[in-house]
């Protein structure tokens, strides 16, 4: 069963993968906080909007969610992202996003990201 909060997170991530700013922003509270520990933190829709396409990256990211878990008003999404830098290098990332929601909208997002590198055996 998909809850309202999971539907919001899914809609947000799908829109993010299309770089659809209006659709992403429609999922957020006005005072949303987005943090990527060790990288940046922003507050508010306008600041969030400026980071939908990250500096140094081009095109639309390929986002694959492998797990979506909810408890109370927190949804955790786990998965992978494949994206391309402006220098042409393709980057594969694993992510774990923690979404805190209020009235069906995202009020805080903490994104944990790690580059996936091939493991040699």
- Residue with tokens 């992202």, as numbered in its chain: 81
Query: For residue 48, is it within any domain?
Result: yes
Q: What is the DSSP string of 25-81?
A: HTTEEEEEEEEETTTEEEESHHHHHTTSS-TTEEEEEEEEEEEEEEETTEEEEEEEE
27 — phi, psi (to 5°)?
Answer: -95, 0
Number of folded domains in the chain?
1
Query: For residue 121, is it within any domain?
Result: no
84 — phi, psi (to 5°)?
Answer: -120, 135
Query: For residue 98, is it within any domain?
Result: yes
Query: For residue 90, is it within any domain?
Result: yes
pLDDT at position 118 over 80: no
CATH of residue 21: 3.10.450.50
pLDDT at position 76 over 90: yes
- pLDDT bin (cut points 50, 70, 90) of residue 55 is confident
pTM of the entire predicted model: 0.91
pLDDT score, position 121: 67
Query: For residue 18, is it within any domain?
Result: yes
Query: For residue 120, is it within any domain?
Result: no
Query: For residue 32, is it within any domain?
Result: yes
pLDDT, one tens digit per residue, over 4-46 is 999 999 999 999 999 999 999 999 999 999 999 998 999 999 9
């Amino acid at each position: 069963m998909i809850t309202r909060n999971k539907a919001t997170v899914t809609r947000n991530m799908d829109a993010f993968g299309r770089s659809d700013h209006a659709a992403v922003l429609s999922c957020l509270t006005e005072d949303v906080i987005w943090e990527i520990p060790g990288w940046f933190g922003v507050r508010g829709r306008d600041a969030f909007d400026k980071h939908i396409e990250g500096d140094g990256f081009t095109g639309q990211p390929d986002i694959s969610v492998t797990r979506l878990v909810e408890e109370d008003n927190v949804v955790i999404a786990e998965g992978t992202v494949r994206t391309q830098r402006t220098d042409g290098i393709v980057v594969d990332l694993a992510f774990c996003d923690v979404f805190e929601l209020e009235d069906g909208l995202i009020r805080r997002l903490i994104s944990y990201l790690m580059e996936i590198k091939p493991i040699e055996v």
